[in-house]
Chain A
Amino acid sequence: MHLALALFALALLGRAASVQLLQGSRWTASAQHQQSIETTIPAPRGDILDALGETMAQSRETVKLEVAPRDVRDRRALRTALIRAGVPPDWAVRATDTARKWVTLPGRYVALDVASIIATRGVHATSTIERAYAFSQGTRRIVGRVDQNGQAVDGVELALDSLLRGVPGAVTTMRDGRGRRFESPQSERRAPVQGKTVVLTINHELQQIAERALADAVSRLSAEGGDVVVVDPMDGEVLAMASQRRDPRATAATALTEPYEPGSTLKPFIAATLLERGLARETDVVNTHNGEFEINGRVITDEHPAASFSLADVIRYSSNIGIVQFAMRLSPREEYEALRDFGFGTPTGVPYPVEASGTLREPARWSKQSAQSLAMGYEIAVTPLQLAAAYAAIANGGELLEPALVKEVRGPDGRVLYHHRRRVVRRVLSPDVARRVRRLLLGVVEDGGTAKLADLQTFTLAGKTGTARRTVHGRYAPGQHIPTFVGLFPAEQPQFVILVKLDNPKGEYYGGLTAAPLTKAVLEAALASRNASLDRGTLAATRQDPPDTARSARAPLDAAAAAETLRTAAARETARALAADRAARDTDGTTPFVATLPAPRAARAPAAPPRAVPDVTGLSLRQAVHALHAAGFHVQLERGAVLATAPAAGSLAPAGTVVRLAVGS
Chain B
Amino acid sequence: MARTVARSGRLRFALVLLGFVVVASVIVLRRTYGIAASREIQAMETRRSGLDAERARLEADIRIASSRARLQPIAEQRLGMHVPTEDQVVYLTREAPPSRAKP
The interface of chain A, by Cβ under 8 A from chain B, is 54-55, 58, 60-62, 110-113, 115, 127, 132, 134-136, 176, 182-186, 204-205, 208-209, 211-212, 456-459, 523-525, 527-529, 536, 539-540, 543, 546, 558, 578, 592-597, 607
- Tell me which of B8-16, B18-26, B39-47 binds A: B39-47
Q: How far is the CB of B49 from chain A (nearest CB, A)?
A: 5
Min distance, Cβ A168 to any Cβ of chain B, angstroms: 15
Docked-complex contact B57 and A60, CB < 8 angstroms: yes
Q: Which of A61, A208, A528, A546 contacts B69 (CB 8 A)?
A: A208
Q: A132 contacts B90, CB within 8 Å?
A: no
- 24 cross-chain CB contacts under 8 A: A58-B56, A61-B50, A110-B54, A111-B47, A111-B50, A113-B54, A132-B60, A134-B63, A135-B63, A135-B64, A135-B69, A185-B35, A204-B67, A456-B87, A457-B87, A523-B86, A528-B84, A529-B68, A539-B91, A540-B91, A540-B93, A578-B92, A595-B89, A597-B89
Cα-based distance from A183 to B63 in the complex (angstroms): 37
Which residues from chain B contact A134 at a C-beta distance below 8 Å? 60, 63-64
* Contact pick for A456, options B86, B90, B93, CB 8 Å: B86
Write the chain B residue with the least CB distance to A456: B86
Total A-B Cβ pairs within 8 A: 113
Instruction: Find chain A residues with CB under 8 A from B57 CB.
Output: 60, 110, 132
Whether B88 contacts A592 by the Cβ 8 Å rule is yes
Taking a contact as CB atoms under 8 Å apart, the answer to whether B50 and A115 are in contact is yes
B68 touches A132 (CB 8 A): no
A111 touches B53 (CB 8 A): yes
B83 at the interface (CB under 8 A from A): yes
7 shortest interchain CB distances as A-B pairs: A111-B50, A595-B84, A457-B87, A595-B88, A112-B50, A185-B34, A540-B91
Which residues of chain A have C-beta atoms less than 8 A from B87's C-beta? 456-458, 546, 592
Q: Which of B52, B60, B88, B90 contacts A578 (CB 8 A)?
A: B90
Tell me, rounded to whole Å, the shortest Cβ–Cβ distance linking B55 to chain A: 9
- Is A594 within 8 A of B67, CB to CB? no
- Chain A residue numbers with a CB within 8 Å of B89 are 527-528, 595, 597
* C-alpha spacing A578/B86, complex, angstroms: 18
Q: How far is the CA of A115 from the CA of B63 in the complex (A)?
A: 26
Q: Which of A60, A111, A212 contacts B56 (CB 8 A)?
A: A60
A562 to chain B, nearest CB (A): 9
Nearest-CB distance from B1 to chain A (Å)?
27
Q: Is B37 an interface residue (CB 8 A)?
A: yes
B25 vs chain A, min Cβ distance (A): 18
Contact check, B53 vs A593: say whether CB atoms are below 8 A apart: no
**B84 & A61 in contact (Cβ 8 Å cutoff):** no
B50 to chain A, nearest CB (A): 4
Query: How many residues on the B side are at the interface (Cβ–Cβ under 8 A)?
Result: 36
Contact: A61 with B52, CB < 8 Å?
A: yes
Bound form: Cα–Cα A594–B69 in Å: 24
**A112–B59 CA distance with the chains assembled, in angstroms:** 16
Q: Is the CB of B63 within 8 A of A524?
A: no
Asked if A58 contacts B60 (CB within 8 A), the reply is yes
Query: What DSSP secondary structure best describes chain A's contact surface?
Result: mixed
Given A61-B52, A112-B50, A523-B86, residue A543 in contact with residue B68 (CB < 8 A): no
**Interface positions of B (Cβ within 8 A of A):** 34-35, 37-39, 41-42, 46-47, 49-54, 56-57, 59-60, 63-64, 67-69, 72, 83-93
Check if A112 sits within 8 Å of B86, measured CB to CB: no
Bound: A300/B87 CA distance, A: 41
B78 CB to closest chain A CB, in angstroms? 15
Could you tell me the distance in whole angstroms from the C-beta of B18 to the nearest C-beta in chain A? 24
Are the CB atoms of A132 and B69 closer together than 8 Å? no
Known contacts A61-B50, A110-B57, A540-B91; decide if A524 and B42 are in contact (CB<8 Å).
Answer: no
Nearest chain A residue, comparing its CB with the CB of B90 = A594
State whether A212 and B68 are in contact (beta carbons under 8 Å apart), knowing that A55-B63, A524-B85 are contacts in the complex: yes
B26 to chain A, nearest CB (A): 16
Give chain A residues whose Cβ lies under 8 Å from the Cβ of B92.
578, 597
Could you say which residues of chain B place their CB within 8 Å of the CB of A540?
A: 91, 93
Residue contact A110 to B50, C-beta cutoff 8 Å: yes
Are A185 and B38 also in contact (CB < 8 A) when A112-B51, A135-B63, A212-B69 are?
Answer: yes
Kindly provide the distance from the CB of A343 to the nearest chain B CB, expressed in whole angstroms: 31
Q: Using A61-B49, A61-B52, A111-B46 as known contacts, list a sample of 19 further A-B pairs with CB atoms less than 8 Å apart, ordered by residue number in A.
A: A60-B53, A61-B53, A112-B51, A112-B54, A132-B60, A184-B38, A185-B38, A457-B86, A458-B86, A459-B86, A524-B84, A524-B86, A525-B83, A529-B68, A540-B93, A592-B87, A594-B90, A595-B89, A597-B92
Query: From A205, which residue of chain B is reached at the shortest CB distance?
Result: B68
Q: A528 CA to B88 CA in the complex, in Å?
A: 9
Among the interface residues A58, A112, A459, which one has the most CB atoms of the partner chain B within 10 A?
A: A112
> How many Å lie between the Cα of A191 and that of B63 in the bound state?
30
Report chain A residues within 8 Å CB of B34: 185-186
A185 x B86 contact (CB < 8 A):
no
| Cβ 8 A contact of B72, one of A135, A212, A458 | A212
Bound form: Cα–Cα A345–B23 in Å: 81
> Closest CB-CB distance, B4 to chain A, in whole Å?
27
Query: Contact between B91 and A536 (Cβ–Cβ < 8 Å)?
Result: yes
Shortest distance from the beta carbon of B43 to any chain A beta carbon, whole Å = 10
Q: Which residue of B lies closest to A593 (CB)?
A: B90
How far does the alpha carbon of A60 sit from the alpha carbon of B96 in the complex, in Å? Answer: 45
Which of B50, B51, B52, B93 has the most chain A CB within a 10 Å cutoff? B50
| Contacts known (A111-B53, A524-B84); A55 close to B59, Cβ less than 8 A | yes
In the complex, what distance in Å separates the CA atom of A215 from the CA atom of B46? 43
Check B60–A55 contact: CB distance below 8 A.
yes
Q: How far is it, in angstroms, between the C-alpha of A111 and the C-alpha of B47 when the chains are bound?
A: 8
Query: Which residues of B lie under 8 Å from residue A528 when comparing CB positions?
Result: 83-84, 86, 89
- Closest chain B residue, CB of each to CB of A459: B86
**What is the distance, in angstroms, from B92's C-beta to the closest C-beta of chain A?**
7
* Distance between A361 CB and nearest chain B CB, rounded to angstroms: 41
Instruction: Give the shortest distance, in Å, between B79 (CB) and chain A (any CB).
Output: 10
CA A595 – CA B86 in complex, angstroms?
10
A189 to chain B, nearest CB (A): 9
List residues of chain A with CB within 8 A of the CB of B47: 111-112
Q: In the complex, A175→B79 CA distance in Å?
A: 61
B88 to chain A, nearest CB (A): 4
Give chain B residues whose Cβ lies under 8 Å from the Cβ of A182. Answer: 35, 38-39, 42
- The answer for the CA separation of A205 and B64 in the assembled complex, in Å, is 12
Q: Which residue of B lies closest to A137 (CB)?
A: B69
On chain B, the residues within 8 Å of A58 by CB distance are 56, 60
Question: Measured between C-beta atoms, what is the minimum distance from B57 to chain A in Å?
Answer: 6
A111 near B49: Cβ-Cβ < 8 Å: yes
Neighbouring B residues of A54 by C-beta, 8 Å: 63
